[in-house]
Structure 1
Amino acid sequence: MTTVPLDSLPEVSVRRQTTSGRIALTLFALAIVALVAMPWWAKTGTIRMLLELCCYIAVAQMWNLLAGYAGLVSVGQQAFIGAAGYALFVLAQTFGVNPFLAIFLSLLVPAALAVPCYLLLHRLDGPYFAIGTWVVAEVFRLVSSNLTLVNAGAGMSLTVMKDYSAFERNVAMSLLCAVLTLVTTGGSYWFLRSRYGLALMAMRDNPVAAASQGVNVRRLRFGIYVAAAVGCGLAGAIYFMAQLRINPASAFDPMWSNVAIFIVMVGGIASIEGVLIGTLIYFVADRTFGEYGATYFVVLGILTVLVALYARSGTWGLISKRWDAPWFPIRRHLVIEGTAR
């Protein structure tokens, strides 16, 4: 057997960032700054439009973590969107809590509700889990429709917002948009680059093999489920604060999950870039063809099925096959010194 001196072995390093990733992070930081500065360059209508866009991105990012990495396909995330929205209205309108502070306090509700929900649902698998999440969301809707504290089916209005000027509301909405985007998109990127993200990707590829290597699959799935509930709750609280009105039909609307599924499937599952591309595709299509009603939704459904059948990696998957330039690189590459470009 021939031995090789250690000093003759090439030096290796782990590369985690790319040039495209650095450019994308710079653009992401500029986008956050632009969101914060919206009151000084955008009209109220534009701010509302961008707020809606940020909410779609947030909900889709949370669904992507659930289905794309944790293997938990949920069609009931509207349960936590509505729960946080109602918590905000109750805290601000009924108990007189500052509405901007109430947004963050309201996140305790989806976090608390997610724990028993997961303990109830985690024994289910595949389509049974998905159906279970939908049933839970419907239970939440029925309870809110008969609960006196939230004015039952009549819904609630956030009249306390009249105490703030239009400019103050725009500033608050802009800051909340930036926080929402930073927490959901930036937070997802940070998490996926951590050792927990590495465990999550291993679990996505093969849960049994990941468990055999020491990954606590149950605990990780539970943490992702609760985190996704809180992220969706933050999006719901911000969205309904901007709407100034909430009722059971809008709070627990299944369209929230439908939109998230469309965005992730068309954009590219298990990728942050895919969520951003899918959201832009949906948003442009909704603004352009939304007036066609039922026909428009049928077309979106057919498009989702076609992507699932013939382009499972979505739009981003097709792009990345041609150009290896990730915007949010999370893979680790072993580089031999002197060969890296």
Structure 2
Amino acid sequence: MSKYQVIRMTLSGRIAWVIFAVALIGIVSMPWWASQGLIRDVVTLACYIAVAQMWNMLAGYGGLVSVGQQAFVGVAAYAMFVLAQTYGVNPYSAVFISLLAPAALAVPIYYLLHRLEGPYFAIGTWVVAEALRLLATNMPMLNGGAGMSLRVMTQFSVHERAIASSLLAALLLLVTLGGSYLVLRSRYGIAMTAMRDNPAAAASQGVNVHRLRFYLFVAAAVGSGFAGAVYFMAQLRITPPSAFGMNWANLAIFIVMVGGIGSLEGVLIGAVIFFFAERWFGEYGASYLIVLGLMTLACALYFRGGLWGFYSRHFNAPWFPTRRHLVRSNGVTK
């Protein structure tokens, strides 16, 4: 009998998953105990977490630093509005059908930009997002720069809309956070970690870096699009600047850099900080954005692992454990 065993789950991980499950149940049950304002805030926070986590997977594991994820946010949201408002598709069904748009868009964009590296790739994604914003501004079907309103939602009661929004928010977190966790614990997670540390070495060991980055890019596009569809359904209105604005890239970069790149825990920490900072200090406009930028720069220079990295250096208590540990039968870690 072997004296060693491989473990991945920890006590802190089990506690965190119980809290996560309780939080999801709480989100689903919000229509029966929470105010409309609180439901709207929770949906917004869930969308921020989802977009940031998709960016985290791209940059933290794929080495693909994108500043154009708003392209997929806007495309999915506009697709949902057109399907529901123009073609009469049930708006809740339209949310899921609209995910075909970012998936289809991600394929040619990746093959157009994948040869670019570093800042060139980032600039390329921004150019694509700006081109889509200009296209949406000049499309009569989308009502141009005036935007669209989701008037079909009036057929549902306030309570029905609250139930749907809560379910979608919980599903969004389950798919983006839970899905990322499952992927990172799989053999693909091992390949992604190797690719993050050294793409050339990973390729020499049999990891198909190009294909894995392609899968990551498409998955991140769909996840970002899901967040966009849910967010703008809750807002009931969409315009090109709000759908394709740089704010989506800004919040993703801030959340991941401050919370901790390459970690699920860091995304949660950074998202909560950004959400409350936006609520409390957003009225200060440019000054507030400057402060967020300086915080991001400070973390990039002095706290490469973000707040979660700083915490991890002092406490070995991961919330979403993905590493494998070899331990003796008596519990001593090797």
The one-letter amino acid paired with 2:42 is: L
Q: From 216, 233, 245, give the equivalent of 1:241.
A: 233
Which residue in the other structure is 2:148 paired with? 156
Mapped partners of 1:191, 1:172: distance in 2? 27
Mapped partners of 1:216, 1:11: distance in 2? 35
Which residue in the other structure is 2:119 paired with? 127
Alignment of 1:127-276 (within 5 A): 127-276=119-268
The one-letter amino acid paired with 2:29 is: A
Q: From 287, 306, 318, give the equivalent of 1:295.
A: 287
Instruction: With the length of structure 2 as denominator, give the TM-score of the two structures.
Output: 0.98
Whether 2:45 is the aligned partner of 1:53: answer yes
Whether 2:94 is the aligned partner of 1:102: answer yes
Which residue in the other structure is 2:57 paired with? 65
Which residues of structure 1 form unaligned runs of 5+?
1-6
Mapped partners of 1:269, 1:225: distance in 2? 17
Instruction: With the length of structure 1 as denominator, give the TM-score of the two structures.
Output: 0.96
The one-letter amino acid paired with 1:206 is: N
The one-letter amino acid paired with 1:267 is: G
Please provide the CA RMSD for this pair.
Answer: 0.9
Q: From 10, 23, 27, give the equivalent of 1:18.
A: 10
Which residues of structure 2 form unaligned runs of 5+?
none
Superposed displacement of residue 326, structure 1: 0.1
Alignment of 1:302-341 (within 5 A): 302-340=294-332
Alignment of 1:85-100 (within 5 A): 85-100=77-92
Q: Which of structure 1's runs of 4+ aligned residues deviate more than 4 A?
A: none
Mapped partners of 1:248, 1:285: distance in 2? 25
Which residue in the other structure is 1:4 paired with? none
The one-letter amino acid paired with 1:61 is: Q
Whether 2:21 is the aligned partner of 1:36: answer no
The one-letter amino acid paired with 1:70 is: G
Identical amino acids, percent of aligned pairs: 65
The one-letter amino acid paired with 1:28 is: F
The one-letter amino acid paired with 1:191 is: V
SS in 1 for 2:6: strand
Mapped partners of 2:146, 2:57: distance in 1? 34
Superposed displacement of residue 291, structure 1: 1.2
Larger Rg: 1
Mapped partners of 1:247, 1:285: distance in 2? 24
Which residue in the other structure is 1:283 paired with? 275
